[in-house]
């Protein structure tokens, strides 16, 4: 018998009420795309800068690389602490990368930040593959 680590795992297995629906892996899929968008945006400044930012997030805020998509507010705080107002440039690049990967049209909106755009992307993809 397969050992499951949580009720959530059971919920999405063939034995569970959703009969193996791929909702959980879809959420992970979105997180993977978002993480790739973050890494590519940081990579524009060079691999050393990317590694410094990731190290800073880990050591100062306890946010590991793979947690960035789930802890975006803390990631934004790290960017602001390191880059001040220039953090907005990185946020913009992350959003541009994310929307491109999802096949969405990126339309800049006044006063929107990374968290707003990510929520919009999730909403727009809601009925789709995420």
* Residue carrying structure tokens 């953090």: 87
Look at residue 21 and tell me if it is in a domain: no
pLDDT in tens, 66-91: 999 999 999 999 999 999 999 999 99
Look at residue 5 and tell me if it is in a domain: no
Q: Whole-model pTM?
A: 0.76
Look at residue 8 and tell me if it is in a domain: no
* Domain CATH number, residue 57: 1.10.1200.200
Look at residue 95 and tell me if it is in a domain: yes
Look at residue 16 and tell me if it is in a domain: no
Look at residue 94 and tell me if it is in a domain: yes
Q: How many domains does the chain have?
A: 1
3 confidence band (pLDDT: 50, 70, 90): low
Structure tokens at 62: 């306890």
CA distances 26 to 41, 53, 111, 126, Å, are 23, 27, 29, 10
Residue 46 pLDDT greater than 70, yes or no: yes
Domain span holding position 70: 28-125
């Amino acid at each position: 018998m397969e050992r499951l680590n949580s009720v959530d795992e059971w919920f999405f297995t063939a034995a569970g009420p959703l009969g193996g629906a791929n909702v959980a892996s879809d959420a992970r899929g979105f997180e993977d795309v978002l993480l790739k968008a973050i890494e590519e945006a940081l990579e524009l400044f060079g691999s050393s800068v990317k590694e410094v930012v990731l190290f800073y997030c880990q050591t100062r805020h306890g946010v590991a690389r793979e947690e960035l998509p789930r802890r975006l507010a803390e990631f934004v705080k790290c960017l602001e602490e390191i880059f001040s107002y220039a953090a907005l440039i990185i946020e913009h690049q992350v959003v541009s990368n994310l929307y491109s990967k999802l096949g969405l049209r990126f339309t800049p909106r006044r006063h929107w930040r990374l968290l707003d755009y990510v929520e919009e992307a999730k909403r727009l993809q809601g009925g789709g593959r995420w």
